[in-house]
Chain A
C-alpha cells in the first residue's frame, strides 16, 4: 500500500511520520495568497450543435491572503460563490483565471500529478459528514487511507497506531476504529472527517460549512475542537459558512461575499463594530441574537427581493438591485474593494 505513491525521499525509517525537512520548504510569507481569482462556468444550449450561450460568474475576481495559523471566514448566502471559492483554491475546480499561491507555490498552472504530493498539506472538511465518508469503510480505514496514499505512516501497525492517536486527538475513542460511519452520530462523523483531514498534517484546511448540519449543542464541540487544533498545529483555515455568528466566532478576519464578489473584508471585531457595506449591514441585522432584550433595540434592515441570478447579474455593483442606498450611479460603476482603514476593505461607492 505504502509503496504505491512513494516519493524518492519518503522516510524508510518506520514511525517517522513527518515528511523530511526539505519537503516543507521554510517559507515566511502567507500560507495562501489568492489574486483576482475567477471561476466562470459556461452555459451551453443545443443538442447536436452545442454552443455557449452565456456564462455564470460563480467567482469573479477575489483577492486575499491567509497567514499561518490564521482563520479567514468566508460568509455569504446560497449562490454567493463561497463553496466554489474553496474548491478553486484547492484546484478541485480549476479556476478560469487568477493566481493561487500556497506557501509561495503557484497551484493554478500545476498538473494534477504535481499537485498530488501537496494535497496532504491542503485539506478540506465538508458539511455533510455522512455523504463525505465512504459507508463501506471503517473509521480506521477512512482516516488511515491518506496516511497510506501519502506514505506518511510506515507499515500497517504504525498506521493503526497513528489512526488511534488521531482519533484520540479529535475526541473519539480509539476502540471505535473498526466501526462504520452509520454507527456514529453526526457530531462523531464530523470528528472522523476532521481526523482524516488531520492525517495529512496539513498547514491549510478549507472548512466548508463544517457545523451547519449539526445540532446546536454539538456545533460548539466541533468549533472548539477546530480552534484547539489550530492552536496546536498552527493550521490556517478558510472557514466557509452562511451563518455570520459562527463565522465571526471562529475567524480572525471575515470576507462577506455576494454574487461572486467580496463586498467587505475586515477583522471580526471591526466587522461587528463598524460594518460599512450596505449588504454587510443588512446581513448583520438579519441575524438574530439570542437575547430578547437586545433584540428589541436592534435596527432591522429588511432587504427586498431575492439575490439575482448569477447568469444575468446586474451591471455595475451586483448588490444595487436590493441595496437601500443605491443610486443610478451604481449601475454604471463596478466598485473596487478599497481599503478604508488598515485591514478594512469595502466595495461600495456610496460609503
Chain B
C-alpha cells in the first residue's frame, strides 16, 4: 500500500488486449504470527476461448489468486495489497461492489471444489439456477426455467425436469457438482474459473465435465481458468500453463514447453513425482525432497531453494523474478540453463 508508484503504473497500463489480464496481484492474510503473503505479485493473462492451467500444491496461493480476482477474499483477515485485474478492459479492483456483483456469476462464472458449501440448502436446485438467470440475463421465470432444464441436461444431470425441484441434499456429490457447473455456465460467462472443480469427482465423471467445459470454450469462445494440482488434467485441456509455488508463479509457458522442457526445478520435480499411466512397470518415482514451505516462514532467497538440488549461493540470497527463457516461456530460476542441460542429459540417458 505504501508504494504509490506501483499503483500509478497499474493505472497507466489499464489497457489490455487480453480478456483477463492480472498484473502484480498481491494478497496477504493477518495471522497470529504476522502477515502471510499468500499471493505475492502474480501476473498472467487469458484470451478469449483459451484454457489456462494454474497448477500448484496446497498452500501455493492458487485458490487465493482466484478469490482475489473475484474480490471474494474475506477481509479481515485477508487484504489485497496491490495489483490490478483487467477484465474486458475494466479494472475489477476499482469498480463498485454493485458492479462487481454483476460480474460475478454473470460474465465471470466460478466453480469451487465444495459443492455443498456453495449451494443454498433450503432452495431447490432449479430455483438457484433460475435466480441467476433471471438476474443476469433478464429472462422471465418460465423461460428461465426452460433454460435451466436445458443446461442441467447439458451437464449430464439425469432426468433434469424431475430433478429441477430437488434440494441439494437429495443429490449425490457428483450431481451437486454438476448443478454448480450448470449455475456457473447458465449466464454464458466470458470466463469460467474452475477451482479444483472436478477434484472430488470420479475420474469418468471428471472426464465428462471437462469435455463439456472444453466444448463450451470451442463453441462460445469462453475462456477457462483451470486451477488444479492435477498435472494430467492440465496437460489434456490447457493450451498454456502457469505453475505456482509459495505465492508466486515460478514458471509459465505453452503446455508443450512446460511439460517437455521445464526450466524450473520445481516444475521438473512435480513432473517426475507423478506416476504416469503409461510408465514402464517398475519405474521409480523421483520425489521432491522435503516439505511444502510454511508461508509464514519463507527463506530470504528463492522459496524453493531448501528443496532444490541445483541451488547455489545466489539462490539463498536473492529471490529470482520470472526470466524470459524462450518465446512465450518464463521461469523464475537463476540456474535455469544448468537445470535445462541436466534434465536434457537425463532424458537422453533414459
Give the chain A neighbours of B259 by CB distance below 8 A: 290-293
CB contacts under 8 Å to A, within B247-305, are 255-256, 259-260, 269-279, 281, 283-289, 291-292
Interface residues on A, range: 35 or more
Given A218-B291, A219-B273, A250-B275, 5 more contacts at CB 8 Å? A220-B286, A249-B276, A268-B281, A284-B277, A292-B255
Given contacts A244-B203, A305-B156, A305-B158, whether A220 and B274 have CB atoms under 8 Å apart is yes
Contact A249 B205 (CB under 8 A): no
Most buried by A among B172, B271, B274: B274
Residue of B nearest to A322 (CB): B204
Task: Tell me the residues in window 216-247 of chain B with beta carbons closer than 8 Å to chain A beta carbons.
Answer: 229-238
What are 18 contact pairs spanning A and B, CB under 8 A?
A77-B202, A215-B292, A217-B288, A218-B287, A220-B274, A242-B202, A245-B232, A249-B283, A286-B204, A288-B233, A288-B236, A290-B234, A290-B259, A291-B260, A293-B256, A300-B207, A303-B208, A304-B156
Whether, in the assembled complex, B174 has its beta carbon less than 8 Å from a beta carbon of chain A, the answer is: yes
In the assembled complex, how far is the CB of residue A227 from the closest CB belonging to chain B, in whole angstroms?
8
Name the B residues within 8 Å of A284 (CB-CB): 277
B278 touches A289 (CB 8 A): yes
Q: Which chain A residues lie closer than 8 Å to B260 at the CB level?
A: 291-293
Known contacts A215-B58, A219-B273, A244-B277, A291 near B235 by CB under 8 Å: yes
User: Would A224 and B278 count as touching, CB distance under 8 A?
Assistant: no
Task: Check B275 against A245 for contact (C-beta < 8 Å).
Answer: yes
Decide if A185 is an interface residue (CB 8 Å cutoff).
yes
Known: A217-B287, A288-B235. A78 touches B277 (CB 8 A): no
A296 closest partner in B (C-beta): B236
Q: Which of B204, B233, B234, B260 has the most CB of A within 10 A?
A: B204
Q: How far is the CA of A227 from the CA of B283 in the complex (A)?
A: 11
Distance from A315 Cβ to chain B, minimum over Cβ atoms (Å): 19
Residue in chain A with minimal CB distance to B279: A249
Interface residues of A in 300-314 (CB under 8 A from B): 300, 302-307
Contact A269 B274 (CB under 8 A): no
In angstroms, how far is the closest chain A Cβ from the Cβ of B348? Answer: 18
| B229 & A216 in contact (Cβ 8 Å cutoff) | yes
Report, nearest first, the 8 A-B pairs whose CB atoms are least far apart. Answer: A288-B232, A249-B275, A220-B287, A220-B273, A77-B202, A286-B207, A288-B236, A217-B288
Number of interface residues of B (CB under 8 A): 51
Answer yes or no: A175 CB below 8 A from chain B CBs: no
Complex Cα gap A306–B174 (Å): 8
C-alpha spacing A275/B256, complex, angstroms? 28
Given contacts A292-B236, A292-B256, A300-B207, contact A216 B202 (CB under 8 A): no
Q: In the complex the two chains form, is B276's CB within 8 Å of A282's CB?
A: no
Closest Cβ of chain B to A311, distance in Å, is 13
Residue in A227, A290, A304 whose CB lies within 8 Å of B271? A290
Give bound CA distance, A286 to B229, whole Å.
Answer: 17
Whole-angstrom CA separation of A249 from B285 in the bound complex: 9
Judge if B175 is at the interface, Cβ distance under 8 Å. yes
Interface residues of B (CB under 8 A from A): 57-58, 156, 158, 172-175, 202-208, 211, 229-238, 255-256, 259-260, 269-279, 281, 283-289, 291-292
Chain B residues near A223 (CB, 8 Å)?
275, 285
Task: Assess whether B276 is in contact with A290, with CB atoms less than 8 Å apart.
Answer: yes
Q: Provided the pairs A220-B273, A220-B287, A306-B172 are in contact, do residues A289 and B235 lie with their beta carbons within 8 angstroms?
A: yes
- Compute how far the CA of A245 lies from the CA of B287 in the bound complex, rounded to whole angstroms: 16
Chain A residue at smallest Cβ distance from B158: A305
With known contacts A291-B235, A306-B174, A245–B207 Cβ distance under 8 A: no
* B203-A216 in contact (CB<8A): no
Residues on A with beta carbons closer than 8 Å to the beta carbon of B281:
248, 267-269
The distance from the CB of B284 to the nearest CB of chain A, in whole angstroms, is 7
Q: How far is the CA of A269 from the CA of B278 in the complex (A)?
A: 9
A290–B272 CA distance with the chains assembled, in angstroms: 10
For chain A residues 24-38, which have a beta carbon within 8 Å of chain B? none
Q: Report the separation of the CA atoms of residues A269 and B230 in the bound assembly, to the nearest whole angstrom.
A: 23
B6 to nearest A CB, angstroms? 32
Contacts of A306 in B (CB 8 A): 158, 172, 174-175, 205
A325 on interface, CB distance cutoff 8 Å: no
A287 within 8 A of B: yes
Residue on B with the closest CB to A186? Answer: B58
Chain A residues, CB < 8 A from B204? 77, 282-283, 286, 302-303
Residue of A nearest to B229 (CB): A216
A41 in the interface (beta carbon within 8 A): no
Query: Are B232 and A287 in contact (CB-based, < 8 A)?
Result: yes
Complex Cα distance, B203 from A78, in Å, reads 10
Question: Are B285 and A220 in touch, CB under 8 angstroms?
Answer: yes
- In the bound complex, CA of A303 to CA of B232 (Å): 19
> With an 8 A cutoff between CB atoms, is A3 at the interface?
no
Among A188, A272, A303, contact of B277 (Cβ-Cβ < 8 Å): A272
Are B232 and A289 touching (Cβ within 8 A)? yes
- In the complex, which of the residues B173, B208, B277 contacts A302, with contact meaning CB atoms closer than 8 Å? B208
**In the bound complex, how far is the Cα of B271 from the Cα of A220, in angstroms?**
11
Residue from the list A224, A292, A307 in contact with B287, Cβ < 8 A: A224
Q: Is A134 an interface residue (CB 8 A)?
A: no
- Decide if A294 is an interface residue (CB 8 Å cutoff): yes
Q: Which of A218, A268, A286 contacts B203 (CB 8 A)?
A: A286
Whole-angstrom distance from the CB of A80 to the nearest CB of chain B?
Answer: 9
A-side contacts of B287, CB under 8 Å: 217-221, 224
Please tell me if the beta carbons of B285 and A224 are within 8 angstroms of each other in the complex. Answer: yes
A19 at the interface (CB under 8 A from B): no
A290 interface neighbour in B58, B207, B231, Cβ under 8 Å? B231
Q: Judge whether A216 and B270 touch: CB under 8 Å.
A: yes
Contact A272 B275 (CB under 8 A): no
